[in-house]
Amino acid sequence: MTHSLKYKAVISINMASKTAVEKITKEDALLLLKTNNVPEDVVTHSKKVAELAKETAEQIKSRGHRVDVEFVETAALLHDIGRGVTHGITHGLEGGRMLSSYPRYARAVENHLGAGLTKKEAAELGLPRRDFIPRTIEEKIVAWADKHVSGGRIVAENKLVRKLPLGHPASLRALALDEEVNELAGVDMFLKKE
C-alpha cells in the first residue's frame, strides 16, 4: 500500500529564478512527523539526529564546502517518517514514498538505511533492486548522524559498526562514511564535543 502525507509542506518561490522550490521547513517537518503517526520516541531520536546533522553540516560548511545546512536539518528530522507506517527495514522506502512530492527529501530518507545499501543488499532485504547509497554531501551527513544517535543520545561509536561482524561490507561502508564526514569537517566530530 502506498502512503501519502497527511499534511503538505509549503512550496516557496525562489525570487532570483522565479521558480517553485520544493522546500520543507523545520516546523513543517515536525508537523509532518506528528500528523503521520510517528511515535514520540522516534520523534525524540529524529530531533537528536537533526541536531547532530546540523552541527556537522555547519562545521563542514565553515571549511568552505557547499552544503545546504537547512536541508540537512530538515531531512534529518524526516529520516524516520516511515516509522509511522512500519518499524521494519522498509521504513526508509515508506518514508520516501510519503515524501515523493519532495524528491530531494525522499532520496535522503530512502538512503539513510545503514550507510546505504547496494542493489544486491536491497534485494536480499526485500527492497526494490536498486542502489540506496547516499550520494550527496547532505544525504551522507543525514545517514552518518543517524548512525551516531541511539534513542535520544548522541554516541561516538557508529551503531552499525557495533552491530555487524568485523569486515561486513555494510560495516566497512559505515566506517568509510565516518572517515569521509570527519575529513570534510576537518575534525573528528566527537573529539570536537569534548
The predicted pLDDT at position 5 comes to 55
- Rounded Cα distance between 99 and 89, Å, is 17
Crossing angle of the two packed helices 103-110 and 91-98, in degrees rounded to 10: 180
State if pTM tops 0.75.
Answer: yes
Residue 12 bridge partners (DSSP): 21
Q: pLDDT tens across 135-194, in order?
A: 999 999 999 999 999 999 999 888 888 888 888 888 899 999 999 999 999 988 877 654
Q: Model confidence over 53-108: pLDDT tens digits?
A: 999 999 999 999 999 999 999 999 999 999 999 999 999 999 999 999 999 999 99
> Quick one: DSSP state of residue 10?
P
Please, which pLDDT band fits residue 13 given cuts at 50, 70 and 90? very low
pLDDT level of residue 21 (50, 70, 90 thresholds): low
Domain locations along the chain: 26-193
- Decide: residue 159, CB within 10 A, 0-12 exposed, 13-18 middle, 19+ buried: middle
Report how far residue 138's alpha carbon sits from residue 146's, in angstroms, rounded to the nearest whole number.
13
pLDDT at residue 12, rounded to an integer: 38
Per-residue confidence at 19, pLDDT binned at 50, 70, 90? very low
Q: Which CATH number fits domain 26-193: 1.10.287, 1.10.3470, 1.10.3210, 1.20.120?
A: 1.10.3210
Q: Are strands 153-154 and 19-22 parallel, antiparallel or unpaired?
A: unpaired
Give CA 18 to chain center in angstroms: 29
By the 8 A CB rule, do 158 and 178 touch? yes
Helix (H) or strand (E) holding 149: strand 149-150
